[in-house]
Structure formats: structure tokens, C-alpha cells
Amino acid sequence: MPSLFSSYRLGELTLPNRTVMAPMSRVRAAAGGLATPSMATYYAQRATAGLIVTEGVQPSLVGQSNPGTPGLHTDEQTASWRQVTEAVHVNGGRVFAQIMHGGRVSHPETTGLRPVGPSAVPGEGAVFTPSGPQPLPVPRALETDEVAEHVRSYADAARRAVEAGFDGVELHGANGYLISQFLSSNANLRDDRYGGSVTNRIRFAVEAAAATAEAVGAGRTGIRLSPGGGIWGVREDDAAELNTALLTELARLGLAYVHLEATTDEETLLGLRRAWPGTLVVNPTMPGGPKQTGRAEADHWLGLGADLIAFGRGFLANPDLVERLRSALPLAPVDEKTLYQGGDAGYITYPAYPHAA
């Protein structure tokens, strides 16, 4: 079994260890979706990760889910990210941008636009807006001839990401956002070539991945999935069949990796490991769940065939997480109150472990 601290070759990158900093929204972007100096510090502090995947970055204004999130669809946004990628690289790290189109998980108060989705079916729950949490509105169902525009938005954002100095991109196909909505058996009620059968429901994800791989190279393109996750009211009643078919098609593209969240049973995840011949990243815990990934969960999944292990909350409060895991040092707890409040407190103020002199 490989060690969590052994190196790994990912495309043209050599990762010094097998830890991945999972994408986590922190809503610290400046007005206009611009990256900030504090964001550069935040990611640079965590550059000992084998790979950093940033918070979700919207590829278009209508794709923005929450206020305070960064974008990659204007020249100003692209330029603002260079301070982040340069800081990570100066500190010896590697960083992918996660491209996240919220689809129906958005609100006109945030974007000034009606959200779009595969069908006019609202999600479940409340979304953050400038005036506070609001129920998710009914999205506008995309016309068939509009779908290609949203496919291209991932590729266009990926081009901007590489221009900004990112080492690659991860498409957010998980957690109830646009790609996940197209995969869904209840958010996608279409009767055209993007809905109905498994073959049709995976089409949007495959087209987005193919367009992105063509734009920036397959070795710079990953995708994150949450099989059967049920987040924001998205269901996959046929999760094993659906995701096996999706991975079979994605395998033809030669992507850098697939990133699976443990949102279904272990048997299903192991079947998906067998269906995917390339690099597999596993996040061993449910998003927002009560348990935090640690060394035991990482070693368990490395033993089951995962190549890289994604850590979420562990990296929030422990910028030196890799060293703490290596040396079996205690992990600092996350201050939940500061996750989304803005400002530097609880963002770039977590210290490294205080070794005795």
C-alpha cells in the first residue's frame, strides 16, 4: 500500500505527497468576484499539500451561487488570481482551480439574473443572498440550443485559469450544482438528448469535460463527483449505473483524475474504482458531515485503491496539516463561526503547530 507521504505523478506534476486540499467555499472574494491578497496568503499557507484545489470559482455571472465567491469570466478576475498562483508556487505548491457553475443553486438577489437549470425544478433548502438566506427559486429550464453555451463556460474559465497560472482545473460535478443537476433523476426532467436515459443524463458532464480537456489539455483537467449524494435535493436513483457509465465515457478522455466524495456506500465506490482506470482522489467523509478525515480514513482508502486523499476541514484550521499527520500531532479545531463571515480572522490566522523550543 502506498504511503500518504509518498510522491505521486499527476500529469506533468510530481506531487510530494498524496494529500489534496479539498475545495471549500470561504466567500472572501472582493467585489466583482476578484481574488484578494488574503486569498493568496490563505492558499500559500497550505502549499505543503500535494495538490490544492481552490474554492468553487464561477465560470459566468449566471453560474454564481453565493455572494462573495470568486470568478474566472472577466479579465479583471483572471488578473487577480495571479497573486494566488504565484504565492502558491513560490511556496512550493501546486494548485488547480475548481470551476463551479451553480445552476439552480443561485438567486437573483446575488446575480441579478434568474438561475438556470436542466429543468424548471427548484432545489431544496435556502441559499445565501446579500440580504440573507432565501429559498431556492424555480430556475429557468435551458433550451436545447443554449446548453452548449454553458458547456463552453467551463472550457472558457479553464483557459483563463491556465492564463492566471493555475496548474489545472477541477470541474465541480458534485453536490447538487449544474453538472450534478444534469446527472440527476429528479432535477433533470428533460425529454431531449440531455435527459431521460442514463446515456442522455451523463451527456452534459462528458461534453463539459471534453471541451475543457480540449481547451487546456486532459492532463490538466479533473472532475469531482458525489455519487448518490442528495445535496440541495438532487437525487440519483440509479447512482451505481449512472456513475459507472459516466466514468466509462470520461475514461476515453484521459483526464488527470476523478475526485469522488464518499456520498454512497463503500461497495458502490469500489465498483467505481474498478470502472475508472486513471488517478482516483477520494474524499472519505460526507460534505458537512460530523466526522473529519484523518490518517486512519486516508490509509483505509489508500489500501482500497485510491491514489490521493482529499482533506477538507482539516486544512482549514491546520495550514501545516501534512506535517501534523506525518508526526501524529493533534489537529486544531475549526472555528465554525468564521467559515463564511469574511475578513482574515479564522481564515489566515490559524497558526502552525507550536513546537517546543
Return the C-alpha torsion angle 61, 133, 118, 139, nearest 10.
Answer: -80
Instruction: State the CB neighbour count (10 A cutoff) for residue 290.
Output: 6
- C-beta separation of 73 from 59 below 8 A: yes
Q: Please state, in angstroms and rounded to a whole number, the distance separating the CA atoms of residues 76 and 349.
A: 27
Whole-angstrom CA distances from 89 to 47, 159, 169, 200 are 8, 19, 16, 40
- 338-343's contacts with Cβ under 8 Å and 24+ in sequence apart are 339/26, 340/25, 340/26, 340/27, 340/68, 340/128, 342/27, 342/28, 342/68, 343/28
Instruction: State the CB neighbour count (10 A cutoff) for residue 123.
Output: 26
Q: Please state, in angstroms and rounded to a whole number, the distance separating the CA atoms of residues 125 and 135.
A: 6
- C-beta separation of 273 from 305 below 8 A: yes
Active site residue 177: yes
Which amino acid, residue 192? D
Whole-angstrom CA distances from 288 to 132, 218, 283 are 20, 30, 12
Instruction: State the CB neighbour count (10 A cutoff) for residue 69.
Output: 22
Q: Please state, in angstroms and rounded to a whole number, the distance separating the CA atoms of residues 262 and 299.
A: 15
Angle at 215 between CA 155 and CA 93, to 5 degrees: 85
Out of 43, 177, 347, 350, the active site residue is: 177
- Point out the residues that are catalytic: 177
